[in-house]
A and B are shown apart, each in its own frame.
Chain A
């Protein structure tokens, strides 16, 4: 009778590896499509193949036996904790993609309000006050020492 604990799947790790392997394969194919000359493939092709071999070596770590503990960052945190992480990532995406469209002032203020709330600031007046002061200070402080003008809507 087999007494070994059953293997399970660490889905997050699997997703990360799929992304890495996907990027490597897409990059290799794009490089080969650009040209098959040695000056194009000299480093990229061997490095891509090496990356794929290494990814194959990593694969067993995604299917650990049930008793293994090292692959379980999920167990230390609640679903709520993870949701907060994803919300913060989404808010940061909103900031990065909207800065030039809606202006640095509005985008920064909106991000600060949302991110402070996600990070646990429950007092709304502290949240709004800090976000407003921080936005103004950053726009005028940072803006005065950088060579590029920040697109603004209100300030």
Chain B
């Protein structure tokens, strides 16, 4: 699986070129700062730095861009934890438990947990990439619309677990989100729900809508509060608590491993990537956790699951890009553009002829992940000070930054207007106990669900079952999904019986 001659070649490349190392730190810092700003996506951060790479050699250029990729991947979790704003779609699940932890005064631990999970997730994804680059790329080529649809349905299962105490409201929020996610022109060319507004042809702008639903709605609801954390003594910024969070993440190796595996596999599927992997990992962890009921209220396991999956998606996306030359998302498309700028064509021939460069990239990403731990510790320490800012300053400032971010993403007033509409909707939903997270998941997956369902319908000629039986990978995904649901039901029943037994034993001991 590993060619040792190429490994030595990679070490020689990295050892002989000091530039390859010099760009690591600036790349990480640029990524962290950009990623932490609401509305600035990983792709935007990399696109911003792309012109600078024209004057670098090929390997340092790609290392610089992947360092930005790694830094921005974690940077998005900082506003997700501190303000409930998912800087990117891959940080949505981080807000579910990270923000409640911050509101409870556990912001230091939450950031430490997010950092450690990201670092380990990133390390594991590149470790898996080292061994699995060939088999993963082989599998990706066999995935069709039915398999993508199966993955999206798996993501939708999260709706049930996000519903909270009002199941019907949770499901309504989710289905409403799915419908909103299908607004615009579908893949068959039919235009619906645009109300004559041209920019809705491409669908509702997702990131501004997400920022509005999750963050702005929360901020509006906080107007009658003085600080993000009510208890003054909990507002302290503590480096030791951040490190404590790092240690806490290490005590859940199974969650990190599961998240990383989900991240690599889902990240490798073009067009799906980290925006779904974090939701899937969160959903699976909640399903399997004995304290699954406390997810959404500030359970550290939720943060670990989300962050390990979204950071490991980078490795999966790199596998597809390096092995097949297919960009899975915006970030890998920028990397392919950087390849082209250096007159190099990505894909099977690249990997066959330049294994030493591929291994050098993988090894430099190990270094990036380790360096991220130290740079990230300093970064989150500084960022934590946001909890000390009085809300009367924080609310208007963050709303303006979010509005600027929404404009920057769309390039027109479509972004800010979407942000406003969904802020009001989100505020009303929170007020009447509708889980906004379910609406966000629906919004993210609606287009994907419909697109792949349509393609499956067109390919199968309407015979879904007959076509499905010919697709072993789709059957495998559906089987895994069913298996996961059955395991959840069994473990729930076992837990209930155990609780009943304990209650009976307590009653018997009290009676005697």
Contact = CB atoms under 8 A, between A and B. Distances in A.
Contact of A147 (B44, B179, B392, B432): B44
Contacts of B216: 92
B367 interface: no
Given A39-B457, A44-B179, A138-B404, A81 B192 contact: no
B391 interface: yes
A148 interface: yes
Interface residues of A, number: 66
Nearest to B170: A54
Nearest to A28: B179
Given A40-B186, A84-B223, A115-B395, A27 B401 contact: no
B413 A134 contact: no
Interface stretch (B97-105, B312-320, B447-455): B447-455
Nearest to B186: A40
A43 B408 contact: no
B416 A95 contact: yes
B188 interface: yes
Interface in A100-117: 100, 104, 108, 111-112, 115-116
Contacts of A65: none
Given A85-B220, A146-B408, A112 B401 contact: no
A73 B431 contact: yes
Contacts, number: 183
Contacts of B74: none
B457 A38 contact: yes
Given A13-B432, A148-B408, A51 B175 contact: yes
A61 B167 CA distance: 12
A1 interface: no
A87 B337 CA distance: 46
A111 B400 contact: yes
Interface string B160-183: 000000101101100110110011
Contacts of B428: 12, 15-16, 19
Contacts of A92: 216, 220, 399, 403, 420, 423
B176 A61 contact: no
A129 to B, nearest CB: 12
A120 B392 contact: yes
A66 interface: no
A39 B395 contact: no
Contacts of B404: 104, 138, 142, 146, 150
A20 B172 CA distance: 9
A138 B190 CA distance: 40
Contact of A115 (B183, B396, B407, B434): B396
B433 interface: yes
B193 interface: yes
A133 to B, nearest CB: 11
22 contacts: A20-B172, A24-B176, A24-B179, A34-B190, A39-B190, A42-B450, A42-B453, A44-B450, A54-B172, A70-B433, A73-B431, A84-B224, A85-B221, A88-B220, A88-B223, A99-B416, A111-B396, A111-B400, A119-B391, A121-B392, A146-B408, A148-B411
Interface of B: 34, 37, 40, 44, 47-48, 166, 168-169, 171-172, 175-176, 178-179, 182-183, 186, 188, 190-193, 216, 220-221, 223-224, 391-393, 395-397, 399-401, 403-404, 407-408, 411-413, 416-417, 419-420, 423-425, 427-429, 431-434, 446, 449-450, 453-454, 457-458, 462
